[in-house]
């Protein structure tokens, strides 16, 4: 079964998409054909969006689903005239919140015209630069790091560090355990000094070999034996030094990052 | 005025946080003290969360706000017993959707135990590696690029590319216009060949000088004159080659990325 869904917003549409995805993912066996309609912030754009939705309705014969975060009620009405099932993400909560907070909400349409918090932006950019210059053992000066990820090559360190930087403004460094480290089963001294900020990434050997194979097929590096040997040695080191760890095999980047920040009590850049 | 808000989830809490932020940002003049409570997926964790919320209530005397994406109704009830104002993000829509789709939703708690789409994960990792190896003009082989950002140094190219890769699995390269390019007002031939995939980042001269000053204070590079000269030359080149552009001065990384993808018709990795 297939359904068309539109994520519509007066801003980027990221919120509509994120929560719309979470809601629709709870319905098994339905294939959603998803479209994003961002920056719908005037009557003309709303009319164009309604036309597009109406056309999809006529073509499929099935009522499209519209996940909506537009703040302006007049624009919502234009889109609703398409006959779609409207999921208005904000509407159900506004009355309750206005009453509890004792204030009316402001016209939220303005948010799409770029009132951003420059210091938050700067912090995220700084953190991204930090992640880039402290990636893959490039620098081992970790004094400014909020967290240092350790693990074998291709265990997910780099994307996790970049995600934590871009999303949360957290300064995340990473260090890949080298053959020498693993051979000696010895954590380098510049890591031992930072133990409270270390976090280890673990991964299943089969998955690691698969990931490495896409990079260097049929190499010793990509073999299951090598993966098992490295992961076993790394595991000993993590346990010996009581480094908290997470197995990344079945987790998304968001989940890995979220678990690490939660464990380390790093809650940044939320407001 | 200050209010405590908790984002509670049986998974990462990213969804609760994203939409909770969008909702609360519509209330001006209130300072939210925000806490994330992720991975609340059993009765014990729910009880611990309820206790924490209750304690915040007793301490401040003001009803805390709980933005909730837990799927299990029993766990929601435990948390609601704290007396907080519950904003259940999924609940209002489930009845409507179940009726329209003709199916009951599945128990969504399982999602937190890592049923991820490996091919989507791989695509995001590939795209991240691509962004890292095609950053800052490091490689000018752009055949595999979905999009190539051009602009002067520090206009926001790198974080935007990384964000598009991590969030959408889009292969984004970037090229910083060099002094030679600007002096000659000539777009390098390897860019001219790719014109349909080029996107230019523009920025106000004052903001550019400010960003550069944090990096190299009192340098010629960071001067307002230099920023103006570079931006003027770059502008001529973008206009001459009809390259679409966006001014990043007042935009968040999400907004820049979203506008570029929307313009280029790149809608990736949504489902």
Domains of chain B by start residue, with CATH: 2-113 (3.40.50), 118-264 (3.40.50)
Nearest chain B residue to A99 by CA: give it: B85
Is the CB of residue A265 less than 8 Å away from at least one CB of chain B?
Answer: no
Query: Which residue in the set A97, A116, A262 is minimally distant from B251, CB to CB?
Result: A116
Largest CA distance in chain B: 69
pLDDT of residue B111: 46
State pLDDT tens for residues B128-183.
999 999 999 889 999 999 999 999 999 999 999 999 999 889 999 999 999 999 99
B201 three-class SS: strand
* Residue A150 near residue A199, CB atoms below 8 Å: yes
Helix axis angle for A157-168 and A118-133, nearest 10°, is: 160
Give the E-state strand segments of chain B in sequence order: 2-8, 31-37, 65-68, 85-88, 147-151, 172-176, 198-202, 245-247
Handedness of CA A216, A221, A223, A228 (dihedral sign): negative
CA B163 to chain centre: 6
* Residue B224 near residue B209, CB atoms below 8 Å: yes
Q: Which two tokens stand for residue A45?
A: 């754009």
Query: What does the alpha-carbon distance between residue B163 and residue B166 come to, in Å, rounded to a whole number?
Result: 5
Counted across chains A and B, CB pairs separated by less than 8 A come out at 207
> Hey, which residues 51-110 in chain A have their CB within 8 Å of chain B?
63, 65, 69, 71, 85, 87, 89-90, 92-94, 96-97, 100-101, 103, 105-106, 108
Largest CA distance in chain A: 69
Q: Which two tokens stand for residue B262?
A: 């929307």
Is the CB of residue B116 less than 8 Å away from at least one CB of chain A?
Answer: yes
Query: What does the alpha-carbon distance between residue A247 and residue A227 come to, in Å, rounded to a whole number?
Result: 14
Q: How confident is the model at residue A270 (pLDDT cuts 50, 70, 90)?
A: very low
pLDDT of residue A104: 85
A9 three-class SS: coil
Query: Which residue in the set B30, B249, B270 is minimally distant from A101, CB to CB?
Result: B30
Handedness of CA B17, B20, B25, B29 (dihedral sign): negative
Give B15→chain A minimum CA distance, Å.
6
pLDDT of residue A116: 54
A198 three-class SS: strand
State pLDDT tens for residues A127-186.
999 999 999 988 989 999 999 999 999 999 999 999 999 988 999 999 999 999 999 999
Is the CB of residue B32 less than 8 Å away from at least one CB of chain A?
Answer: yes
Residue A25 has pLDDT above 90, yes or no: no
DSSP 8-state symbol, A136: T
Handedness of CA B221, B222, B227, B229 (dihedral sign): negative
Residue A268 has pLDDT above 70, yes or no: no
Query: Per mean pLDDT, which of A49-53, A68-72, B261-265 is the most reliable?
Result: A49-53
* Residue A162 near residue B128, CB atoms below 8 Å: yes
Query: What does the alpha-carbon distance between residue B78 and residue A46 come to, in Å, rounded to a whole number?
Result: 41
A173 three-class SS: strand
Helix ranges restricted to H, chain B: 14-24, 43-60, 73-80, 91-101, 118-133, 157-168, 179-184, 189-192, 205-215, 224-240, 253-264
Handedness of CA B75, B77, B80, B83 (dihedral sign): negative
Give A90→chain B minimum CA distance, Å.
7
Is the CB of residue B169 less than 8 Å away from at least one CB of chain A?
Answer: no
**What ipTM goes with this model?**
0.71
Q: Which of A25, A169, A170, A258 to mutate to test the interface with B (most CBs of B within 10 A)?
A: A258
* Residue A85 near residue A56, CB atoms below 8 Å: no
């Amino acid at each position: 079964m297939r359904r068309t869904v539109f994520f519509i917003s007066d801003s980027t549409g990221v919120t509509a998409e994120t929560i719309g995805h979470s809601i629709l993912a709870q319905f098994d066996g339905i294939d959603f054909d998803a479209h994003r309609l961002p920056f719908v912030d005037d009557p003309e754009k709303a009319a164009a969006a309604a036309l597009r939705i109406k056309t999809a309705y006529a073509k499929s014969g099935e009522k499209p689903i519209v996940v909506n975060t537009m703040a302006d009620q007049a624009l919502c009405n234009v889109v609703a005239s398409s006959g779609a099932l409207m999921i208005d993400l904000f509407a159900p909560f506004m009355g309750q919140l206005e009453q509890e907070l004792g204030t009316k909400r402001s016209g939220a349409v303005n948010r799409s015209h770029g009132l951003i918090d420059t210091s938050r932006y700067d912090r995220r950019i700084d953190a991204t630069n930090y992640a880039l210059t402290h990636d893959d053992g490039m620098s081992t000066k970790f004094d400014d790091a909020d967290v240092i990820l350790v693990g074998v090559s291709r265990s997910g360190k780099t994307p996790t560090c970049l995600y934590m930087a871009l999303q949360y403004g957290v300064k995340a460094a990473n260090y890949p355990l080298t053959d020498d480290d693993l051979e000696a089963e010895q954590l380098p001294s510049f890591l031992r000094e930072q133990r409270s900020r270390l976090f280890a990434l673990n991964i299943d050997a089969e998955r690691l070999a698969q990931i490495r194979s896409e990079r260097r097929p049929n190499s010793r590096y990509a073999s299951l034996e090598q993966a098992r040997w490295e992961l076993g040695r790394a595991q000993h080191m993590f346990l010996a030094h009581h480094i908290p760890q997470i197995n990344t095999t079945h987790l998304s980047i968001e989940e890995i990052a979220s678990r690490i920040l939660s464990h380390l009590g790093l809650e940044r850049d939320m407001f």
